[in-house]
Amino acid sequence: MAIRNPFRNNKVKETDDLGFGTRITGDRDRLIAKDGSYNVLRVGNWSWSPYQDLVEMPWSKFFLVVIAYFVASNLFFAVLLNLVGIDCLSGVKHGTWLENFQQAWFFSVQTFTTVGYGSISPSCISTNFVAAAIALFGLMSAALATGLLFVRFSKPTSQLVFSKNAIITPYQGGLSFQFRVANKRNSRLINLDVKLTMSWVDTNPDGTRQRRFSRLKLERDKVVMLPLNWNIVHPIDEESPFWERTPADLQEMNVEVIVLIEAFDESFSQIIFANGSYCDEEILYGVKWKPMYHADPSGSGKTVLELGLIDEVVSIG
Amino acid sequence: MAIRNPFRNNKVKETDDLGFGTRITGDRDRLIAKDGSYNVLRVGNWSWSPYQDLVEMPWSKFFLVVIAYFVASNLFFAVLLNLVGIDCLSGVKHGTWLENFQQAWFFSVQTFTTVGYGSISPSCISTNFVAAAIALFGLMSAALATGLLFVRFSKPTSQLVFSKNAIITPYQGGLSFQFRVANKRNSRLINLDVKLTMSWVDTNPDGTRQRRFSRLKLERDKVVMLPLNWNIVHPIDEESPFWERTPADLQEMNVEVIVLIEAFDESFSQIIFANGSYCDEEILYGVKWKPMYHADPSGSGKTVLELGLIDEVVSIG
Amino acid sequence: MAIRNPFRNNKVKETDDLGFGTRITGDRDRLIAKDGSYNVLRVGNWSWSPYQDLVEMPWSKFFLVVIAYFVASNLFFAVLLNLVGIDCLSGVKHGTWLENFQQAWFFSVQTFTTVGYGSISPSCISTNFVAAAIALFGLMSAALATGLLFVRFSKPTSQLVFSKNAIITPYQGGLSFQFRVANKRNSRLINLDVKLTMSWVDTNPDGTRQRRFSRLKLERDKVVMLPLNWNIVHPIDEESPFWERTPADLQEMNVEVIVLIEAFDESFSQIIFANGSYCDEEILYGVKWKPMYHADPSGSGKTVLELGLIDEVVSIG
Amino acid sequence: MAIRNPFRNNKVKETDDLGFGTRITGDRDRLIAKDGSYNVLRVGNWSWSPYQDLVEMPWSKFFLVVIAYFVASNLFFAVLLNLVGIDCLSGVKHGTWLENFQQAWFFSVQTFTTVGYGSISPSCISTNFVAAAIALFGLMSAALATGLLFVRFSKPTSQLVFSKNAIITPYQGGLSFQFRVANKRNSRLINLDVKLTMSWVDTNPDGTRQRRFSRLKLERDKVVMLPLNWNIVHPIDEESPFWERTPADLQEMNVEVIVLIEAFDESFSQIIFANGSYCDEEILYGVKWKPMYHADPSGSGKTVLELGLIDEVVSIG
């Protein structure tokens, strides 16, 4: 195989294994999925964080969980009230066990939410104590549910959009690897910092295969603001692992370029991170970017940024 | 044109494009508006963040949104209650559809806010379920509204005040570009850090025009506290893009000096950022700053900082 | 005067003016008060931050404000209810205007807090609308009051205790300026960083007096944890502004050593800052520190840190 | 004693005392307990932080405190209502003092939680004022309790798991000290940074014993992500305090390797810290790590990380 050990004799420095390790688990597996998540499954005594789960699940599932919790808690208290004595709730109209149960559930809901109409109210010591417990439990539950709701609502959503493809394109007399990002929202991102690492599979002299990593140098790895788009440029020089590689080489090496962007989101007052990755089949050749911004034709004096153009390239030569 | 390519042969280093790019979209457009916002319009599939919008809109609009949401939600539930059966609300005095509707709306409000007087209360299974839904929906809505209210209230407001003009004034035997900032509030700002970038328009040999950027070196770019005012000084030496420029040159170059200040606000326990910019017509010549602080004449032993004097300059020579 | 211009001919580097400026406003004024606050008065169009005020006022004042706000808001609504028509509140026992007013106030309170007993309830459209407004206003007000209460409660309180005096004491064959700090709480402070700046008053050749500043070098300016006490040591070498100064010199120079400590409080998950300052009359000579920690005599294997000993020194020689 | 003063003549640099000081309080005491807490007892006027205590106590104790506070507050108000006049609560059925007291307690609970059924309601001015106070007090108390509940729930729990033992094992032709960590949760840890400090006890020429510290150099002290496990490697070269030490030496020196890991938890949007320590008896020899990850045999294309294997070593040679 021609590219066994491709960089062992040149100037490519292997660095920073990104925490992915170098043992090969499967040649054609991505390390970072296209949505930015890690391609890793955690087994054994891993620990579950209900908070994280509740914050990261989709909205529809979150509301289902809240409603299920609300219904189930009050079912439990309705059972308890029936056991303690439905007669001890004044305002309840005696009926079948189902009707009694329904009314106990409604009373529980009215207490849990602290609405407390009073059309049903506790009339014995026993039910008064149960009602006190329901109210306290309801206050605590509401704190969790509404706190989670607000954390979800105020969490900075993924706002950095990456170009679907990267390109290899002329740059200052040589070649460069480029992709671009933009902010989908009108928020202010400040102090952006990008790190690029190339990962590829290499065959050792003994025939075993190993993943290797090399940090890619950038023309600029920090910008202080991101009002428009940011074209991230890795110049392909002698120290680059792209140096003198053909598209076929890159495919055989199972190349993946892993991106980590860090920034401060001023609107949300939080540090945000964005992950991305480009595999060899997502690299285009012989093209350059189509500009994404221009003066506002209506003469407002503003610059117009067209987010829909982020993936657009034009053929060169 | 005389200043085509003004710095190509001297020591000015072009740096850091600030994320604004170098393509000219319109010669006389500011990059940063006087209020610190970017002069950019985002089109295409940009994404709207209701949270950011609700946090950043004016107070009057925020309260209008809250009230509209409150009225509309309860209108919806009032319709639902009328559909389900107004007869199933005990305490309702039957009347015209409008009177029924009004009473349903009041009942909805009493449930939504969890007040629950009980003068109107649900008496059937159907209305009891609707009431449970209203109470749950109300709790969640209140969480959003009150959470947003508190985030707005506890957000550090713009507290750094910039002098309206910058000046070019003698400094250590040469000239310097200066402006000053002060903290309008009695809060403690810590670890302040300022970055200054000059942007100007340049004509390429092929006649196309391009925006250029250069970071300005400062006499001091960090202070640990800001008890008084801070006079930010860029000494104009050979490496400065101001070197040997006349006011007419600066105007023709369409100069804009862009300021980014970062600090930690101890009272709010948050990192804050402040943006500003000075265009060529906001630079004064032949003046120096009037001091802003003096000993307290009442003899309290304190230093008095007069914020009203921040824009004041005195003529020199 | 002997010490006019004390460091002009030696190796002391003037640095970092700390944001206090160099104009003298009064010779014997401290820059930093003993409690860590700035000795500065802000006048002119400074801006008031109700949030900061409410978070930083004493607890007693905070509760007074909350109670006053609560009473006053409901007074306002009681007036409104009386204007709209007390007859439209069912359950009110008609009486003198004072009795009517009291009952309106109680109804307002019951609505504002969303208790809503129902013993008084709105019976007309007008009072129903007022009640809806009170409930909405009450929810928003409660959000502010309880949010502020929680921010106050969860704010890291001043936990770093400084020794009352600094000492000048032998160190590695020379002298050193030392003080010590400890954590009063059982919380974990991480990545502590200290900055020391000496400030003194100097007379210029033209007779004007000026404040000067010099950063003091430290034997160690960072520690990763603070389980015990930290003895902060500035070795007095040729570059130190203390070099060859007598106590009388320091007094004449009106010396103040300003301390800024930054740390991460893991329990509160916040960055904290602590300010302190030592004036010339707070410096002791001919003493060394008494150790603050020892093994637990009960044999628990723990180290015992005695916080009461932080100010204790023992005479040397 | 052979190893008195072991490193005085070689290249080991003593550094950073970690804030533990160098005075020996007891030879065989750990500085950092196995759970990461400091082995220090704070006496004298240390200050208690109720917030920290309430956030860090176990869940069972927290709920006991909340329930005790709830019961006790309402007991106090029940006493007050009885003193003011139980007759002024309409709906109370007169009975023994115990029955009266119980009903006053229930009324207090209904007001405190803002349920307010209305089956009992205040009918005089005095009880109306008490009820207003209870409601206000209840709102404030609920804010504290629910705020604390949410802070506890949303606090990043200890998720970094350390291998139980460290190993001394061959590495690049020499030896190395190694341990490994992994993330127990599916959260994203970013920008991890590890600091290792070795502490040992040394005998001075005058016979006094002193704790010494030396920072250990690492093959890599930062990774940007932690999708799999991280094997932390200290190569034992001439500058290492492990250089040419036998297991018996390490035991006599009472060695403790102290670990501090800092990372950003993206799910919780907070900086987290993890502490660990390895004493001489926790170091294994003649072993190497068993790999913790492999390709998913089900062919999902994912890498499987087996957390249960973190302590597993295999014998070498």
Give all strands (DSSP E) within B18-133, no chain letters: 40-43, 89-90, 121-122
Residues near C275 by beta carbon (within 8 Å), at least 6 away in sequence: C32, C36, C37, C258, C259, C260, C261
Biggest CA-to-CA distance, chain B: 90
Complete DSSP assignment for A47-103:
---HHHHHHHS-HHHHHHHHHHHHHHHHHHHHHHHHHHHGGGEET----SHHHHHHH
Strand partners, C115: none
pLDDT category, D12, cuts 50, 70, 90? low
CA torsion through residues A112, A114, A120, A126, sign: positive
Determine the residue of chain A that is closest to B119 in CA distance: A117
Strand partners, B200: B212
Say yes or no: domain B50-153 is CATH 1.10.1470.10.
no
The predicted-structure confidence for A121-179, as pLDDT tens digits, reads as follows: 999 999 999 999 999 999 999 989 989 999 898 887 768 899 999 999 998 889 999 99
Q: Which of A268-282, B35-49, D192-206 has the lowest mean pLDDT?
A: B35-49
CA-closest candidate to residue B180, choices B236, B235, B230: B230
Asked if D116 is an interface residue toward chain B (Cβ–Cβ < 8 A), one would say yes
Asked if B294 is an interface residue toward chain C (Cβ–Cβ < 8 A), one would say yes
Number of CB pairs, chain B paired with chain D, less than 8 A apart: 5
Asked if C114 is an interface residue toward chain A (Cβ–Cβ < 8 A), one would say yes
Residue C222 parent element (H or E): strand C222-225
3-class SS shares of chain D: helix, strand, coil, % to 5? 30, 30, 40
CA distances from B292 to B141, B274, C15, C21, C40 (A): 48, 21, 22, 11, 12
Higher pLDDT, A7 or C38: C38
Asked if A150 is an interface residue toward chain C (Cβ–Cβ < 8 A), one would say no
CA separation for the pair D176, D233 (Å, rounded): 6
The pLDDT value given to residue A184: 86
Asked if C137 is an interface residue toward chain D (Cβ–Cβ < 8 A), one would say no
Q: Which of residues 225-254 of D touch A (CB under 8 A)?
A: 225-230
| Percentage of the residues of chain B whose pLDDT score is greater than 70 | 89
Asked if B149 is an interface residue toward chain D (Cβ–Cβ < 8 A), one would say no
Give all strands (DSSP E) within chain A, no chain letters: 40-43, 89-90, 121-122, 160-162, 166-171, 174-183, 189-203, 209-215, 222-225, 230-236, 256-265, 270-279, 283-285, 287-289, 293-295, 303-306, 313-315
A118: exposed, middle or buried (Cβ count in 10 Å: 0-12, 13-18, 19+): buried
Q: Side chain identity at C222, as an amino acid letter?
A: K
Q: Which of A171-180, B220-229, C54-63 has the lowest mean pLDDT?
A: B220-229
For domain C160-315, give the CATH superfamily.
G protein-activated inward rectifier potassium channel 1 (2.60.40.1400)
The pLDDT value given to residue A17: 54
Other C-beta atoms within 10 Å of B24: how many? 17
Find the CB nearest C153 among D46, D51, D270. Answer: D51
The pLDDT value given to residue D61: 96
Q: Establish whether domains D57-153 and D160-315 are of one fold.
A: no
Structure tokens at B183: 């903290």
**Residues on chain A touching D296 (C-beta within 8 angstroms):** 41
3-class SS at B185?
coil
Which residue's entry shows tokens 């913790």? D292
0.80 surpassed by pTM: yes
Say yes or no: domain D57-153 is CATH 1.10.287.70.
yes
Domain ranges of chain B: 50-153, 160-315
Find the Cα–Cα–Cα–Cα dihedral A163, A166, A170, A175, rounded to 10°: 140
Mean pLDDT of chain D: 85
CA separation for the pair A120, B118 (Å, rounded): 9
> In Å, how far is B227's CA from the nearest CA of chain D?
29
* Contact assessment for residue A235 and residue A174, using Cβ atoms and an 8 Å cutoff: yes
* Contact assessment for residue D308 and residue D161, using Cβ atoms and an 8 Å cutoff: no
Q: Would the pLDDT of C316 be above 60?
A: yes
The pLDDT value given to residue C9: 40
Mean pLDDT of chain C: 85
pLDDT category, B9, cuts 50, 70, 90? very low
Other C-beta atoms within 10 Å of C244: how many? 11
User: What ipTM was predicted for this assembly?
Assistant: 0.80
The pLDDT value given to residue B187: 80
The pLDDT value given to residue A10: 47
| Percentage of the residues of chain C whose pLDDT score is greater than 90 | 46
The predicted-structure confidence for C151-179, as pLDDT tens digits, reads as follows: 898 887 768 899 999 999 998 889 999 99
Q: Which of A64-73, B42-51, B69-78 has the lowest mean pLDDT?
A: B42-51
